Amino acid sequence: MNSGTVETPVFMPVGTQGTVKAMSQQELASMGFEIILGNTYHLYLRPGAELIQRAGGLHKFINWHGGMLTDSGGFQVFSLEHIRKIGEDGVVFRSYVDGSYHEFTPERVMEIQSAIGADIVMAFDECAPYPCEKDYAVEAMRRTHEWAKRSQDSAGADQAFFGIVQGSVYQDLRAESAEFIASLDTDGIAIGGVSVGEGKQLMMNAVDWSVPHLPEHKVRYLMGVGTPEDLIDSVVRGIDMFDCVLPTRLGRNGSLYTTYGRINIKNNRFIDDLTPIDPECDCWCCRNHSAAYLRHLYKCDEILASRLATYHNLHFYATLMRRIRQAVEQGRLMEYRKEFLEKYRKHAAAVHDELPRLETDREGRMRSGMEYVEKGE
């Protein structure tokens, strides 16, 4: 990659519109993140690929010195079902910014991603919804394969190119898709069409059905995943890369990851809790502030609340991935998994009751949450 190497397994914070919400680029680097994700769909519509190119690419436009991956925008245009027209050549959609019409084809999307200039670019794919009849899953997969070839042919030489496996929740389709994408000339392979509301079991099935058909030497990226538990369980299955809006979105909503499970800071039990939210965390938030102060900031709708919580949650993910990497190196991933989960699930039951079910959504991968897609997370 242009911007150096990245240690895997790796989690990429989502910087939809050229910013990881509530964070500065310096803060992301301070937590040890080496690569972030940008959304082609959003950046194409605003500020536009032309301006980003004129700025010298997205790295320079936002002043980020680490790695950068852009998705293909395919999912976002497919999410906006009421305004899309799908053809063999591509998809016509309306801009959520000004209502104008646009067309994404594999060639156009690769051209846009080239202008944006990320280190890793993704093939244009069709992410089938969930639930999905098998007939449609076949059709979407076939189109994805066709578009993957055309994307590959249009990909620039100076960017790493990843194909995307589809196939919905069908074992034979996942196997067929994985084999096909593995046959292309790619630098890495993503498993897409997951985290669309199918639940953890079906998601892990999709991984298990795809991975055996993927070459050992290529990086594997599970798109839009996931919870801390999802990350560990996917690394166990051979996944190397992840992205997800959970830590940032939940942070802004007052939901915080801790060693002992996820908590809702707005809960009354934190009113006069003058200790840090996670006694085992050494992040900027936990070193400096109490749960009571954080709760107060949330109640007052203060920007610092989103900043502290987002930082804390991303720091939690960065720490988790670092420990996963260490455990992999030491050949003790399953022991680490057990240790982590024993603590983490301590309060899990209570936590799941009080929080909305957002576990499986990702940037633009949540069909029931269109407002997120349109607003840029």
Out of 125, 230, 233, 243, pick the active-site residue.
243
Per the CB < 8 A criterion, the answer to whether 234 and 222 are in contact is: yes
272 catalytic? Reply is no
Q: CA 48 to CA 55: how far, in whole Å? A: 11
| Closer residue to its own copies (CB): 213 or 295 | 295
| Closer residue to its own copies (CB): 60 or 343 | 60
DSSP string, 195-259: SSSS-HHHHHHHHHHHGGGS-TTSEEEETT---HHHHHHHHHTT--EEE-SHHHHHHHTTEEEET
Does 21 bind its own copies (CB under 8 A)? Our answer is yes
Strand 255-258 with 261-264, pairing: antiparallel
Contact string (CB under 8 A) for its own copies, positions 38-77, x = contact: --------xx---x--xx-----xxx--------------
**In angstroms, what is the minimal distance from the CB of 351 to its own copies?**
24
List the one residue from 23, 28, 121, 122 that touches its own copies (CB under 8 A): 23
Q: Which of 242, 262, 271 is nearest to 353 (CA)?
A: 262
| Closer residue to its own copies (CB): 62 or 137 | 62
Number of residues that bind its own copies (CB under 8 A): 37
Q: What are phi and psi of 6, to 5 degrees?
A: -130, 130
Does 280 bind its own copies (CB under 8 A)? Our answer is no
353 catalytic? Reply is no
Residue 193's region, left for phi above 0, alpha for psi from -120 to 50, else beta, is left
Supply the Cα-derived Rg of the chain in whole angstroms.
Answer: 20
Contact string (CB under 8 A) for its own copies, positions 294-313, x = contact: --xx-xxxxxx-xx------
| Closer residue to its own copies (CB): 43 or 181 | 43
Catalytic residues: 71, 243
Could you list the residues that contact its own copies (CB under 8 A)?
A: 17-19, 21-26, 46-47, 51, 54-55, 61-63, 271-272, 274, 288-290, 292-293, 296-297, 299-304, 306-307, 375-376
